[in-house]
Amino acid sequence: MKLYACLGSGNSYKPWLALHQLGQAFDLILIDVLQGEQKSHAFLKINPLGVVPFLEIDADKRMGESNAMLWYLAHDSVLMPASRAEQAEALQWMFFEQSKLEPFLSPARLFTTILPDHRQERAGDIMGWQAGAKAGLARLDAHLGHRDFMLRSGYSIADIALFGYVHVLEEAGLSMAHYPGIARWVARVENTDGFRPLVDLRQPQDEAA
């Protein structure tokens, strides 16, 4: 299995973390999105859509969309919720993440921390993204205020999907101190078996694995 991923990306981190926690062997190929490598001739031959993360399961089976990858990878594993109702609940939060959090946290983080030179000129946009993120984060914080993980049944792909961008909300210019339920959950996720932090997603030659 090959994972094409971008350094520092919350979406790339999700399947990377799941692969580690599942003990699944894979090759990591880093694509430098800030340098436009995802639009290079070489990468477009692999994924004509020119986006990462991208997962190559075998020569015939390739997929995009980080949360769909989580679903695929977790099949019949401890990371997949067991019942029909729990699976639907996991998906509910995973769709929530892609529509109510990621579209706000990701660009706010990009222009606050990853490309800080543009912070001044994008100040208005950043405020808008932060406002959008706050609405979703308040809802998530309330949910996590009275449970250990996203689902009562325990740690699952729903946690990984939410963790991707939520754990770095301060890099989007927001304050974890406002979200005590989220803060406690972040610490719990970091203590799950086989957890590895986002900074460990780096050049293959630097990988300890």
Residues forming contacts to its own copies in the complex (CB under 8 A) are 49, 57, 61, 63-65, 67-69, 71-72, 75, 84-85, 87-89, 91-92, 94-96, 98-99, 102-103, 139
Could you tell me the smallest distance in angstroms from the CB atom of residue 139 to its own copies? 7
- Return the number of the residue (65 or 200) whose C-beta is nearest its own copies: 65
79/69 Cα distance (integer angstroms): 12
148/158 Cα distance (integer angstroms): 12
Could you tell me the smallest distance in angstroms from the CB atom of residue 190 to its own copies? 25
124/183 Cα distance (integer angstroms): 27
- Number of Cβ within a 10 Å radius of residue 177: 8
Instruction: For residue 107, give both structure tokens.
Output: 């660009």
- Return the number of the residue (135 or 209) whose C-beta is nearest its own copies: 135
What are the strands, taking DSSP E only, across 6-124?
27-30, 54-58, 61-63
- Residue showing tokens 């983080």: 109
Could you tell me the smallest distance in angstroms from the CB atom of residue 100 to its own copies? 10
Could you tell me the smallest distance in angstroms from the CB atom of residue 125 to its own copies? 12
- Return the number of the residue (87 or 192) whose C-beta is nearest its own copies: 87
Which residue type is seen at 69?
M
- Return the number of the residue (138 or 195) whose C-beta is nearest its own copies: 138
Q: What are phi and psi of 35, to 5 degrees?
A: -95, 0
103/98 Cα distance (integer angstroms): 7
- Return the number of the residue (1 or 196) whose C-beta is nearest its own copies: 1
Could you tell me the smallest distance in angstroms from the CB atom of residue 199 to its own copies? 26
